[in-house]
């Protein structure tokens, strides 16, 4: 069972396709209750927008749940409360302007009454859009010991980004994670910088830029690698680490980590040490390994480096992996980045070797 009620017209003055509702759902598990609440909340938020734009004369929208979720650009969550079977929260939904306008027009509602902002792109928290009026799509990928996750739960990194206040100069939009988003890209493709998948999610969200934020859990904090893509091509990269404070609970830690990374992005990473944009290169290296598991660990280690753009396997045996590494920046910057992960790049063209250091 799910209940949702309009709470306030958050952001309506800036974006007519934004509405906030309270949700309350009960199900067999809290995860199912949350999913039901999100879906019902999106329906009630869209109904509130239709009601507002029609002057209180809107007819019921004949749209299925998936059709409505496909209209959602992003959402924010506040005041979450959970029990074993019940979920309550306040959700602010930002709907995609053009497709939402078409849906409302099909229901006999003229969105032109919304004024000059009716065509504005929806962003998180109503912050200013990126150059060209389009938000930057944020994909928070989280990894803690096993395989990375993006849309799956638990993902405390993504959860914290959905709750981020819209206080940055550039609009950062976290996709809802609907069927279209899940089909477009997954955690592995996001982490690997799959050009086709990145272009697909950008197109689905009406954007040009995608920011992949890989957060790797470590003892005492997070190691975050941020990569920005345009047209599926890497344009910038940055690495940062956020240490947990003594006595800090998990939610506060992740919210603070989001603030750190968003602050870096907002200032164009002006304090970053990596200066990677503008120069690119590639080299083939041979690395000794001890079987498949050891190779997978090495691959993940390389993929997490901020200036590693792509890794292509040339050959693989139980004793050695030969890979082509495409990187941003200079060779010296690549060596320094590898050294920070206890990897030593030795030799020179045409034979490079990768050795592990204590």
- Are the C-beta atoms of 94 and 15 separated by less than 8 Å? yes
313 pLDDT more than 50: yes
Q: Whole-structure pTM over 0.85, yes or no?
A: no
Give dist(CA 126, CA 169) in Å, integer.
Answer: 10
Nearest of 154, 42, 53, 151 to residue 109 by alpha carbon: 53
Instruction: Tell me: do 261 and 161 sit in the same domain.
Output: yes
Q: Which residue has the tokens 């096993």?
A: 146
Average pLDDT over residues 164-184: 77
- pLDDT for the residue 213: 93
Q: Which structural domain, as residue segments, surrounds residue 158?
A: 136-266
> Per residue in 42-76, pLDDT tens?
999 999 998 888 877 777 787 888 888 888 887 88
136-143/172-173 β-pairing: parallel
In a domain, 101, yes or no: yes
Better-scored residue on pLDDT, 116 or 78: 78
Instruction: Tell me: do 151 and 258 sit in the same domain.
Output: yes
Structure tokens at 270: 């002006």
- pLDDT for the residue 22: 93
Instruction: Tell me: do 287 and 256 sit in the same domain.
Output: no
In a domain, 342, yes or no: yes
Nearest of 313, 303, 289, 296 to residue 337 by alpha carbon: 303
> Per residue in 233-255, pLDDT tens?
887 777 778 899 999 999 999 99
Q: Is 173 left (phi over 0), alpha (psi -120 to 50) or beta?
A: beta
- Are the C-beta atoms of 281 and 249 separated by less than 8 Å? no
- pLDDT for the residue 167: 54
* Local confidence band at 285 (pLDDT 50, 70, 90 cut-offs): very high
The length of the chain is 358
- We report the CATH number of the domain holding residue 349 as 3.30.70
Instruction: Tell me: do 260 and 149 sit in the same domain.
Output: yes
| H/E element, 90 | strand 86-95
Q: Which residue has the tokens 């590494």?
A: 325
121 pLDDT more than 70: no
The domain tally of the chain equals 3
Of the ranges 25-39, 141-155, 271-285, which one carries the lowest mean pLDDT score? 271-285
> Per residue in 265-275, pLDDT tens?
766 544 444 44
Instruction: Tell me: do 101 and 168 sit in the same domain.
Output: no
Of the ranges 31-35, 145-149, 220-224, 306-310, which one carries the lowest mean pLDDT score? 306-310
In a domain, 79, yes or no: yes
- pLDDT for the residue 273: 41
In a domain, 130, yes or no: no
Q: Chain-wide mean pLDDT for the chain?
A: 80
Structure tokens at 26: 């009960």
- Are the C-beta atoms of 172 and 135 separated by less than 8 Å? yes
In a domain, 259, yes or no: yes
- We report the CATH number of the domain holding residue 154 as 3.40.50
Domain boundary among 243, 266, 289: 266
- pLDDT for the residue 135: 79
SS3 content of the chain, % helix, strand, coil (to 5): 35, 35, 35
Instruction: Tell me: do 154 and 198 sit in the same domain.
Output: yes
- pLDDT for the residue 166: 60
* Local confidence band at 256 (pLDDT 50, 70, 90 cut-offs): very high
In a domain, 39, yes or no: yes
Better-scored residue on pLDDT, 6 or 211: 211
- We report the CATH number of the domain holding residue 14 as 3.10.129
* Local confidence band at 212 (pLDDT 50, 70, 90 cut-offs): very high
Orientation of helix 97-106 relative to helix 30-53, angle to 10°: 70
Better-scored residue on pLDDT, 289 or 116: 289
């Amino acid at each position: 069972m799910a209940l949702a009620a309009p709470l306030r017209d958050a952001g309506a003055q800036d974006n007519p396709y934004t509405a906030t509702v309270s949700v309350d759902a009960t199900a067999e598990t809290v995860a199912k209750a949350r999913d039901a609440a999100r879906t019902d909340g999106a329906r009630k938020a869209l109904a509130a927008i239709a009601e507002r734009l029609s002057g209180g004369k809107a007819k019921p929208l004949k749209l299925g749940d998936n059709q409505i979720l496909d209209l959602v650009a992003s959402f924010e969550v506040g005041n979450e409360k959970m029990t074993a079977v019940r979920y309550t929260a306040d959700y602010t939904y930002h709907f995609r302007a053009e497709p939402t306008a078409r849906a409302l027009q099909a229901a006999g509602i003229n969105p032109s009454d919304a004024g000059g902002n009716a065509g504005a792109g929806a962003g998180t928290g109503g912050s200013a859009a990126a150059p060209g009026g389009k938000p930057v799509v944020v994909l928070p990928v989280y990894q803690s010991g096993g395989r990375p996750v993006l849309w799956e739960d638990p993902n405390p990194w993504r959860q914290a980004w959905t709750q981020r206040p819209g206080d940055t100069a550039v609009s950062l939009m976290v996709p809802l994670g609907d069927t279209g988003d899940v089909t477009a890209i997954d955690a592995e493709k996001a982490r690997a910088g799959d050009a086709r998948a990145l272009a697909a999610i950008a197109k689905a969200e009406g954007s040009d830029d995608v920011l992949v934020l890989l957060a790797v859990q470590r003892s005492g904090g997070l190691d975050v690698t941020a990569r920005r893509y345009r047209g599926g091509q890497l344009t910038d990269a940055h690495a940062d680490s956020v240490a947990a404070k003594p006595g800090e609970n998990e939610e506060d830690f992740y919210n603070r980590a989001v603030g750190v990374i968003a602050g870096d992005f907002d200032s164009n990473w002006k304090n970053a040490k990596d200066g990677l944009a503008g120069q690119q290169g590639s080299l083939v290296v041979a690395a000794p390994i001890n079987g498949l598991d050891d190779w997978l660990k090495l691959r993940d280690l390389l993929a997490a480096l901020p200036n590693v753009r792509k890794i292509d396997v040339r050959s693989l045996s139980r004793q050695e992996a030969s890979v082509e590494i495409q990187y941003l920046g200079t060779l010296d910057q690549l060596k320094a980045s590898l050294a920070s992960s206890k990897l030593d790049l030795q030799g020179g063209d045409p034979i490079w070797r990768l050795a592990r250091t204590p």
